Amino acid sequence: MPENAQPIARDGFALFPDRSVVAMRVNGELKDLATPLTDTDEVEAVTFDSPEGLSILRHSAAHVLAQAVQRIKPQANLGIGPPITDGFYYDFGVDTPFTPEDVKAISKEMQRIVREGQRFVRRVVSDDEARAELAGEPFKLELIGLKGGKEAAEGASVEVGEGELTIYDNVSRDGEVVWKDLCRGPHLPNTRMIGNGWDLTRIAAAYWRGSEKNPQLQRIYGTAWPSKDELRAYQQRLEEAARRDHRRLGKELDLFSFPDEIGSGLSVWHPRGGIIRGEMEQHARRRHIDAGYTYVYTPHISKEDLFLQSNHLVTYREGMFPPIHMDEERDEDGAITKQGQDYYLKPMNCPMHILIYKERARSYRDLPLRLAENGTVYRYELSGALHGLTRVRGFTQDDSHLFVTPDQLEAEVSKVLEFIISMLRDFGLDDFELELSMRDDEKEKWIGSDEFWDYSTDALRTVALASGLKLTEVPGEAAFYGPKIDLKTTDAIGRVWQLSTVQVDPNLPERFGLEFTDKDGQKKRPIMIHRALFGSIERFFAILLEHYAGDFPLWLSPVQVVGVPVAEQYADYLDEAVATLRAAGIRAEVDHSDDRMQKKIRNHTTGKVPLILIAGEQDRAAGTVSFRFRDGSQENGVPLAEAVERVRRAVEAHALVHTAEDLA
């Protein structure tokens, strides 16, 4: 019995009178507190402050949102309303989009429902009963028809699964059913427990079941927390996140843009953004070469056959751009004399790296073979899913594929993980945790032998544990062909981002017939390791931009030093000083504008320039300069040669320079 398991009572209310308990786990499954219990059940409390408790709170708030909408707009059709990270949403079929005034009215109605203390009461129903009770809800009827299938919409698992159908009634204090919804639960015991730590945050459009072929619905987002104080803390985090939003900073700092003339989700990089990206790529390239990787280059486009063999056109077709038909030839009468072929923009680099491996015979002496590429790929994301640089249609993966013998797997994964962590630390990230995605007991989902799964999963687990980082094991989340390790990092304001992935893959070597000659002279299959360190350069850039709020370490700053003369007559002296900095490899320039000195300083401080170099009569006479730092402090009379050397050392150290001490 689990450590916090309790003696059995009639139901959860008698067992857990503490109001912080919102549900219970019975024999490992989440259940409502009203669920009847037996003497043999193992029962654990689920509290508000647990991840499951927060999810239940938010799911219950989503139901109250839907009830409030139908009180105000009775003709609104219900979509789905799952809990999500930090909140919840609900989708509705309505004749006209929601307005901010609608949201205010809905919020007030939600407050009334919360105060009414309606009970959430679960009922098991048959498919026919559910259809009869929800006859006026076309989206719910569609979900009932998909019960147990693999095609349900994202978030629909909160409503239908492979087991029994259930409806939750909202029951008033006098016992009347005032509203109902198809739902798997569990829920809070009553609406009053939602409290006042919630808010509606925004409205958006969303396609039913995530497909543009389906009707467009209206989505209302909200957030919910156990207390008002936690809600306020979350709202403050949102304000800070908005201040750091990479889309806003990208525009303010002139780093990148998304011209309408090019198309949605396709970015162009401006000179300053290009400098930062170039530094990122060049540093990564040097580190990869030192670690034994070889860079390769592959086309952006390929014939259909390659993606059929790799199976991408079977499993990933909806995420690929439509084909381009080429190479067809016709005679003078228009008759086809040569059949054309379909070409596709590549969504992944791995099939082309496989062809490089396959180009010649390989021996065990060639392995491990480590191929790296900054390869631009293209994926057809729905327009509603696009988000700045973090979700685009064209992006560059710092992609690596390693081909290893089975007995090299553990050692190579260990090297890969150490390399990833070291590289990310170079960029100022140092708070990491790991997630091991494994197979579960659903045999039909996975390919490959039990021996392979056991061996490869154990190898990844051993490597992850040896890292000393927090490890979470997630059964059922592996790719169908092999386990993987995902590395997550926490940024400056506490947000967790998934970055690097290490994926073990025996499937593609099998599909492409890859071989190597082993020591015994026998032909054997290599194992392929997919490894993306940044994931996508665009997304990693956006994460860094927000992590630093645009105030990059000196080595990444597009302009590292700006010279500001006290008066125009000292500009020539600063030009000479800046030329010396440039000769040492420092990105430096002089502000020759007509603005006054203080305005120049303000402009460059706002523009996130790490160091401002100031010179006047005393500096010119002594051959010195003065540093002004991001914190507003100033260091005067620094000999020019010393100033250049200090800046150079700070660049090499990847230092974040805000104060004089940072440039010591």
Question: Where is the binding site, in residues?
Answer: 350, 401, 530
Catalytic entry in 63, 140, 272, 530: 530
Catalytic residue among 288, 401, 539, 620: 401
Residue stretches of the annotated binding site for Zn(2+):
350, 401, 530
**Strand bridging mode 294-295 / 369-378:** parallel
Helices 271-290 & 537-547, crossing angle to 10 degrees? 110
Q: Is 147 assigned a catalytic role? A: no
Residue whose C-alpha is closest to residue 529's, from 374, 410, 360, 362: 410
Q: Which of 393, 484, 604, 646 is catalytic?
A: 484
Q: Is 401 a known active-site residue?
A: yes
Contact 8, 43 (CB under 8 A): yes
How far apart CA 564 and CA 561 sit, in angstroms, is 10
How far apart are the C-alpha atoms of 375 and 292, rounded to whole Å? 19
Query: Do the beta carbons of residue 403 and residue 372 sit within 8 Å?
Result: no
Secondary structure tally for the chain: helices H, strands E: 19, 33
Whether the Cβ atoms of residue 519 and residue 498 lie closer than 8 Å to each other: no
397 among known catalytic residues: yes
CA-CA-CA-CA torsion sign (416, 417, 423, 426): negative
Asked, as a colleague might, if the bond just before 368 is cis with ω within 30 of 0, I would say yes
- Cβ neighbours, 10 Å, residue 241: 14
Strands 77-78 and 87-93: antiparallel
Residues, the chain: 664
Which tokens in the block code for residue 282? 């060049």
Q: How far apart, in whole angstroms, are the C-alpha atoms of residue 196 and residue 182?
A: 25
Nearest alpha carbon to residue 24 among 59, 52, 61: 52
Residue 491, classed as helix, strand or coil, is coil
Q: Is residue 399 among the annotated active site residues?
A: yes
Parallel, antiparallel or unpaired: strands 561-565 and 611-615: parallel
Distance CA 279, CA 290 (A): 17
Whose tokens are 């808010």? That residue is 199
303 among known catalytic residues: no
> Of all residues in the chain, what percent are helix, strand and coil, respectively (each to 5)?
35, 25, 35
Asked whether 462 and 454 are in contact (CB, 8 A), the reply is no
Burial class of residue 661 (count of CB atoms within 10 Å of its CB; 0-12, 13-18, 19+): exposed
DSSP string of 123-180? EEE-HHHHHHHTTT-HHHHHHHHTTTSS-PPTTGGGT--SS-EEEEEEE-TTS-EEEE
Local structure of residue 573 (DSSP, 8 states): H
Active-site annotation holder among 244, 379, 608, 628: 379
Q: Report how far apart the first and last C-alpha atoms of the chain are (Å, whole number).
A: 59
Q: What are phi and psi of 329, to 5 degrees?
A: -125, 145
Encoded tokens for 469:
């980082």
Q: Which residues of 433-463 are buried (b: 16+ CB within 10 A; e: fewer)?
A: bbbbbbbeeeeeebebeeebbebbbebbbeb
Q: Given its phi and psi angles, is residue 500 left (phi above 0), alpha (psi -120 to 50 degrees) or beta?
A: beta
Task: Tell me the C-alpha distance between 460 and 504, whole Å.
Answer: 9
245 tagged catalytic: no
Tell me which of 32, 399, 591, 662 is the catalytic residue: 399
Catalytic positions, please?
350, 379, 397, 399, 401, 484, 530
